[in-house]
Amino acid sequence: MEDNNLWENIKKGDRNRFKELHDKYFHQMYLYAFKSVDGDSGLAEELVSDCFIKIWENRKKLNIETSVKHYLFIILRNGIIDHLRKQKVFTEPIPMDIMAPGDEKDFDDQRQYVRLYMAVKKLPEQCRRVLELAAFESLSYQEIADSLQISKNTVKTQMGRAYKQLKEMLDPKDFNFFLMVCEGLF
Amino acid sequence: MNKTNQDRIWELGVANIYNEAGKEEKEELKLLSENADNEKVKESIAGIREKLGNTGSLQNSSSLLSWEKISQHLRKKQIKLHLTLLKYAAIIIFAFGVGILFQKYWSFKPTTSPVYTEVRVPFGQMSEITLYDGTRVWLNSGTTLRYSDSFGTSDRKVELIGEAFFKVMKSEIPFRVKIKNNEIEVLGTSFAAIAYPDEIFSQVTLVEGSVQINDRQGRALTHLKPKQQVNLPDDVKKKITTTEVNTAFYESWINGEIKFDNEKLVDVARRMERWYNVEIFFESEEVSAVRFTGTVLKNKPIDQSMKAICMLLSINAEYQNNLNTKDVITISK
């Protein structure tokens, strides 16, 4: 459903649509918050949840004419600033410039990261475990082999496979194009 | 393009970027990269690697838990509304009540500090309890479970030393288990937790539902999905690791069986020591590293179980019965 349509229903008190909005933007907003609070994952998640609570409580008063997405990020940003202000009240000014959320390029990047994350989750089980341990937990191939009780060679194969599949999932168009070209050639 | 060649370039390219390619592989990659298409693969790999770096932070996020928190808040709001209505009714009832009470008892109860209940299961035994909220807990040998008398009203907190299996009753109040350096937080699910003082780690295995692992300050460290097991080293500087496991091995003991899946005898022995309240020694490192797969039944005496293991693995066990201390078993090749 389109965001504005969602929002109309949320204003009427439709919790399912509210959950839909939450699920749609949660990861992007989390990434944004995560960056602003120096990588404190618990805090980032809390700031996003609080932002949604604020929005629900004020839904009747809010008239969103521009994009719902921008609105979400503005409220989230205010929440982050409030939080930082409480923490740094006597120490330093808040670095406002690093946090303007309106940049379309930032949104694009975030969307790409979220897409990649979802793609990782769709990888076959062993492939995913291997990749997660290497990419997110920075384990060496040998450490991964030990922890999953597989051979180092399997780790190597699975890593190659994981990357290849991610590439295919991320640009299905390019890939189809590639196939078309191949078919044309032979 | 050759299919296996394609896979090979991905494999080598990825290994290379993770500094896992050997000298020969690097040269092979160099040769393969002379092809323009392969050069493109290398670019793709670098691009994905860079994006994955920014994606990793999502690993600790949970859209599910975030929504859980929000919907909890929405529910609280509703209750509050009902409460304001009830308030007026309550004031009237309260006024009557106070009058009657004053007549009946003219005394005040002194306030008391929280009282803790402790359930202790000695070595060689196990126990099952049901908590006030309906949560069932199976306690394995040598385990202590502690909770305050306020359990179930405002919070659901317990402290675990040892091994237990929890079937947590669903509720809006989070159920928290303190183990060593960490805290397990759930709403309603089944999981196994191991936190023996004589081990250098604690361990949580999720059977169904979802759990969140917190640090001592209650900040979320990671989330588990069904069949995942997290290993939490006592040394907080060490990395916590999550693996996929067969959960049967971690819940079987509640039915009086211990299942082992290709585990070293030294680890098997540690569990049997607790369960049968004996001490097991190994004559050599070699024999302690032999791996065992099979099931040990709790209601069988230890000498029978040992005999079966010995026959399977062709090793010897020697018994020494002691009157005042634990029995000792020595295992040799």
The pLDDT score that the predictor gives to residue A158 is: 94
More confident residue, A127 or B305: A127
Whether residue A102 is predicted with pLDDT greater than 70 in this model: the reply is no
Quick check: B67 and A19 CB within 8 A? yes
ipTM (interface pTM): 0.76
Q: Which domain holds residue B25?
A: 3-50
Structural domains of chain A sorted by starting position, each given as residue range(s) with its CATH number in brackets: 1-103 (1.10.1740.10), 123-186 (1.10.10.10)
B231/B326 same-domain check: no
Tell me which chain B residue has its CA closest to the CA of residue A39: B57
The pLDDT score that the predictor gives to residue A185 is: 38
* Mean of pLDDT values over A131-156: 91
B199/B167 same-domain check: yes
Quick check: B61 and A39 CB within 8 A? no
B233/B293 same-domain check: no
In A, which residues are within 8 Å of B55 by CB distance? Answer: 113-114, 116-117, 120, 135-136
In B, which residues are within 8 Å of A48 by CB distance? Answer: 66
Q: How many CB atoms lie within 10 A of CB A112?
A: 15
**Residue ranges of chain B with per-residue pLDDT less than 70:** 1-3, 77-114
The pLDDT score that the predictor gives to residue A40 is: 82
B42/B104 same-domain check: no
Q: Domain tally for chain B? A: 4
In a domain, B59, yes or no: no
Nearest to B14 among A22, A45, A163 (CB): A163
Own/partner long-range contacts of A110-113 (Cβ < 8 Å, ≥24 apart): A110/A27, A110/A28, A110/A31, A110/A32, A111/A28, A112/B51, A113/A31, A113/B51, A113/B54, A113/B55, A113/B58
* Mean of pLDDT values over A137-148: 90
The pLDDT score that the predictor gives to residue A183 is: 39
The pLDDT score that the predictor gives to residue A98 is: 46
In a domain, B286, yes or no: yes
Write the secondary structure of B35-55 as one string of H (helix), E (strand) and C (coil).
CHHHHHHHHHHHHHHHHHHHH
Strands B136-139 and B316-320 turn out to be unpaired
A/B interface, count of CB pairs below 8 Å: 135
Whether residue A57 is predicted with pLDDT greater than 60 in this model: the reply is yes
The pLDDT score that the predictor gives to residue A30 is: 92
Quick check: A160 and B15 CB within 8 A? yes
Nearest to A112 among B51, B58, B65 (CB): B51
Quick check: A49 and B69 CB within 8 A? yes
Whether residue A174 is predicted with pLDDT greater than 90 in this model: the reply is no
In a domain, B267, yes or no: yes
* Mean of pLDDT values over A143-152: 91
**What does the block give as tokens for B14?**
């990825």
In A, which residues are within 8 Å of B14 by CB distance? Answer: 156, 159-160, 162-163
The pLDDT score that the predictor gives to residue B99 is: 62
In a domain, B56, yes or no: no
Residue B222's nearest CA partner among B237, B234, B212 is: B212
Contact map slice: A 93-122 vs B, CB within 8 A: 109, 112-114, 116-117, 120
The pLDDT score that the predictor gives to residue B61 is: 82
